[in-house]
Amino acid sequence: MPGKLKEVRNRIKSVQSTQQITKAMKMVSAAKLRRAQDAIIQMRPYARKLQEILQHIVSNHQSDAGRQYITPRPIEKVLIIVITSDRGLCGAYNAGLIRLAKQVIAERYASQQAQGHVWIMPIGKKGYEHFVKYKFQVVPDHWQLFSQLSFESVRQAAQKATQGFLEHRWDVVELVYSEFKNAATQRFVVERFLPVKPAEAQGKQSHTYFLFEPNEDQLIEELIPRILNTQFFKAVLDAHASEHGARMTAMDKATENATEILRTLRISYNRARQAAITTELSEIVSGAAALNG
């Protein structure tokens, strides 16, 4: 019985230590989430307006500079950009994104995958490690992007994807990432990055007209890549906030589970202690009775 009491005490100490860690991680994630949430909330109106401008440009100005970004072509080579996190302990966040990316390949690009014409550009260590382990064709240049997150590092990744599309290395580019809703809710989405969908393709007829000065082709050639970079940055910020929200929620649940385990262990410890005391009393009474007899 003393051995059992010691075992339960050790388990209680172990769970208490784990609970302290999960509490600390929850507080750290909450602080990081606040900054990441502010960044994506401030970014969204700007990105939304730029997306409207981009769709209008490719819908209404059939210049050579704009046509190359909108013209669909037979899909033979595919690039899928999967944005995961660098670290774990965030519930099913990374597993869900990886599963969605594989589902997209299986449902939309199975024939291209069979021919070896599907490439993965992972952003985040977890996605990179998974796709390398399972022998996918990986574009390995930007998986460490979150180690120093900045618009410049995101721009380089976006330019890599855009340049590959323009040079016909890929016929379509898809984004797989988590759209941030709130701390407890993230929505996994698949978003077409290239070719750009015109406004009519989404049932929106634009009546806005733009005047270009000095030259339409020149301005469009400069403007479209900048808008695409911004859209990519918005997706990365969404994923960044989603990661911290998922981790904060996971650590909160882990802390609650630790509390429940501690409650159960303390009940078990008290019962074992009472049983030990009862046994000792019985032995004392039995010994006293034997002496008196």
pLDDT of amino acid 34: 93
pLDDT of amino acid 203: 46
Residue ranges of the chain with per-residue pLDDT less than 50: 201-206
Q: Note whether 88 and 213 are within 8 A (CB).
A: no
pLDDT of amino acid 280: 79
What is the layout of strands, in order, in the sheet containing 137-138?
A: 137-138, 118-123, 78-83, 172-182, 185-194
pLDDT of amino acid 268: 87
Could you give the 3-state DSSP secondary structure of residue 175? strand
What pLDDT, in 10s, does the model give residues 155-178?
999 999 999 999 999 999 999 999
Cβ burial, residue 228 (10 Å; 0-12/13-18/19+): buried
For the record, the structure tokens of 155 come out as: 């721009």
The 8 Å CB, 24+ separation contacts for 1-10 are 1/272, 1/275, 1/276, 1/279, 2/276, 4/272, 5/269, 5/272, 5/273, 5/276, 8/265, 8/268, 8/269, 8/272, 9/269
Phi–psi pair at 74, nearest 5 degrees:
-55, 135
Q: Note whether 138 and 155 are within 8 A (CB).
A: no
Cβ burial, residue 184 (10 Å; 0-12/13-18/19+): exposed
How far out from the chain centre does Cα 78 lie? Answer: 21
Fold held by 20-251: Pyruvate Kinase; Chain: A, domain 1 (3.40.1380)
In sequence order, what DSSP letters do the residues of 101-137 get, joined into one string?
HHHHHHHHSHHHHHTT-EEEEEESHHHHHHHHHTT-E
Domain ranges of the chain: 20-251
Q: Give the residue among 131, 104, 137 at the shortest CA–CA distance from 118.
A: 137
**Side-chain half-sphere exposure of 42, counting CA atoms within 13 A:** 6
Q: Give the residue among 47, 141, 133 at the shortest CA–CA distance from 98.
A: 133
